[in-house]
Structure 1
């Protein structure tokens, strides 16, 4: 299970999506107040108060962090693993789209202020890296399945 390369890819997806939940994705400066966009909502840096929650994004990120963990333990059922990788691809793509939508919505909300600035954090690129790792995991699982089928054909 752990000796397979796709297990490392799937663990990488878990780590990246967990980091997206914990680290700020973007920062908005409005006058004297600073807001950070997390995977679960928009939070003020000074007061720590949550201004807006992003529930659906948080649900998608949690699901996209748990699904690869489940997928790791299905190592005897490779076709099911491939299907779960496809579902993970859909979840990660949906979270990228939702993240972009929330970013644009908050950007427009803060654009009304007299003085504002914004900065995108490196963590905004983590879902793209997770998508790439998911693709690599799916390819490695398919290669394992092809190897097993070729060995069955020889017997």
Structure 2
């Protein structure tokens, strides 16, 4: 389980998803209800949908690690997790539109959210390599 490279990619994707819950994606001024500007940091905890999707990506990545015996199910779960992480990333970028234009910046910790789909793609590549290896060994028998 742990010696497989995709397990490491999935563990890193889960860690990045859980880090995106705490660390900010975007910081800047936002106009509040009383028309006053306030400095706000956008994290996954600042929006309920972002919170649910980020936690779901992290939990699904951890679950997929332990499905190493059922590679087809593992591949399906990782593909679904990849789709949800891309939706999550799009939601992060749409949330930045609520800030005052020109008075905000992307934080360095935004790479956590951006790297999740990349890490999941690496895991998918590793799962497919394992599947090819098993099929080639079955042909030799």
Task: Tell me the TM-score normalized by structure 1.
Answer: 0.81
Which structure shows the higher strand fraction?
A: 1
CA RMSD, 1 decimal:
1.7
The structure whose Rg is larger is: 1
Matched, 1:148 2:139: no
Task: Describe how 1:17-96 pairs up with structure 2 within 5 A.
Answer: 17-29=17-29, 33-41=38-46, 54-96=47-89
Shift of 1:32: 7.6
SS at match of 2:44: coil
How far apart in 2 are the matches of 1:26 and 1:127? 11
Counterpart-to-counterpart distance in 1, 2:38 and 2:138: 64
- Higher RCO (Cα < 8 Å, 6 or more apart): 2
What's the TM-score, normalizing by structure 2?
0.89
How far 1:135 sits from its partner (Å)?
0.6
Q: Encode CA deviations 1:50-85: one digit per residue, 9 max, x unaligned.
A: xxxx11111000000000100000000001111111
Unaligned runs of 5+ in 1: 42-53
Larger fraction in helix: 2
What's the secondary structure of 1:40's corresponding residue? helix
Name the CA distance, whole Å, in 2 between partners of 1:128 and 1:32: 28
Segments ≥4 residues shifted beyond 6 Å: none
Would you say how many aligned residue pairs link Structure 1 and Structure 2?
Answer: 136
